[in-house]
Amino acid sequence: MKNNNINLNINENITRVEAISLLKKNGYYYNALPEDMKNDPEICLLAIKNKGRVFDFIPNILKNDREFVKKAVSINGYALRFANDEFRDDKELVMLAPEAKSTLYLSLKYVSERLRNDREVVLKYLPYDISSFKILNNYFKNDKEIALIVIKKNASLLKLLSEDLQNDKNFLLDALKEIKNSEFGYKYSCDRFIRQVNKKYLDNKAFIKKVIKIHPGGIKFASKRILNEKEFISKLIDINSNCYEFLPNEVKNDWLISSYALGKHPNLWNYIPNELRNNTSFLGLAVGYNSYVFKCLPRDLQNNKHLICIAFDFTMDELDKYEGKYWDSKPFVLDAVLKGSNSLYYASDDIYNDRDFTLEAIRANEGCMYTCNIKFRADTDFVIEACNINHRAVYYLPQRYLLNKKVNEIANSIEFYYTEWESYPYEWDDIDTLDRDTE
């Protein structure tokens, strides 16, 4: 018997109180107790509570006492393993084990063969011991409810299910959803599950579409035929742009696919292959799809004349007068702001932190009230001054500012209606969370 390396030498004159204290620490002390204490049902139950295996060493008179076994199994389900065959075939006792305070090592292996064929018993035990699914009769392996429990606990067991379930597309998708909704680490489990799916489904476009909706990483297992169809890959990116992260590099190196993905979700920049990140022709294509891609670019590329033209609708001739000084140049930033308030995001730190320049930017484009430095947006005096310079900046304020008397007067002067907030796209009441580096 294992004793966890504890010293089981006990004084022969140990008192009952001392014995109880030891058993609370480790149930294996039971084996070293005086014989009279070993026959004490309360002592036995306390030992079993801490170590279910101790049931194997208690007197036969207690092992054969149904009421005692019922109590033992109720406090430690593992005790069922050492009960006699009669009690392991007793459904009431067997159903108590999963409800015990301790269910460690609980398994259908310790239940009679008759009860292992009882669906109610199987459903009760499987969540505690998925490995015992292997010993069940085949008709349980075609039971969808039981199969979903098994797959949710161990995604590697798909091949143990019946062929009917393995070829049931709806079941496979339901199982994938169950895995996704399971415990931490679902991505790895989803991958393990999809890896076992019949190859014919991984070559089925309709099935792959549904997989991507649930788990974008499933694209890794699509057939080569599917991965070579650019138009279909673009449709998958429409369904779930996160699938781009998991595409093989040979697919990502395709300009059209990668630029389209960036256009759908600029934050996918981190997954763009290195050879494309510095290719201004490719980046021009991506920025053309979505000007917000420009925000993801490193600073040196944000100063690229070609990309600035595409993102902010400048002509090359217009840029020539700035002599290569763009975001460090106040005249350029002011011109850029006229084309779009988001341009203020890209200004150098000196310009972005310049109060007077920011007021000029708001004069030129009221939207800069939304894109300016957070410290200005949180400054009531600045906000009032900005709204006096450009009344329409009111539209870009959080509603709490409308409680300010001076701001409210400006709002009334332009017939600003509170109902307009319902349709206006900018909502930033949580003002302290907004900044160009965190938005």
pLDDT in tens, the chain (439 residues): 444 444 567 777 899 999 999 999 899 999 999 999 999 999 999 999 999 999 999 999 999 999 999 999 999 999 999 999 999 999 999 999 999 988 889 999 999 999 999 999 999 999 898 989 999 999 999 999 999 999 998 999 999 999 999 999 999 999 999 999 886 567 789 999 999 999 999 999 999 999 999 999 999 999 999 999 999 999 999 999 999 999 999 999 999 999 999 988 988 999 999 999 989 999 999 998 888 899 888 889 999 999 999 998 888 888 888 888 899 999 999 999 999 999 999 999 999 999 999 999 999 999 999 999 999 988 999 999 999 999 889 888 877 787 788 888 887 777 655 444 444 444 444 444 445 554 4
CA dihedral 71, 72, 77, 82 (to 10 degrees): -140
The tokens describing 273, both together, are 């292959």
Of 282, 211, 241, the residue nearest 226 (C-alpha) = 211
Check residue 422 and give its pLDDT.
43
Q: Is 365 within 8 Å of 337 (Cβ atoms)? A: yes
Check residue 231 and give its pLDDT.
94
Q: Given CA atoms 207, 210, 216, 217 in this order, what sign does their dihedral have?
A: negative
Assign 3-state DSSP to the chain and report helix, strand, coil percentages, each to 5: 70, 0, 30
The tokens describing 25, both together, are 């620490």
- The CA distance from 28 to 23, in Å, is 7
Q: At what angle do helices 355-364 and 330-339 cross, to 10 degrees?
A: 30
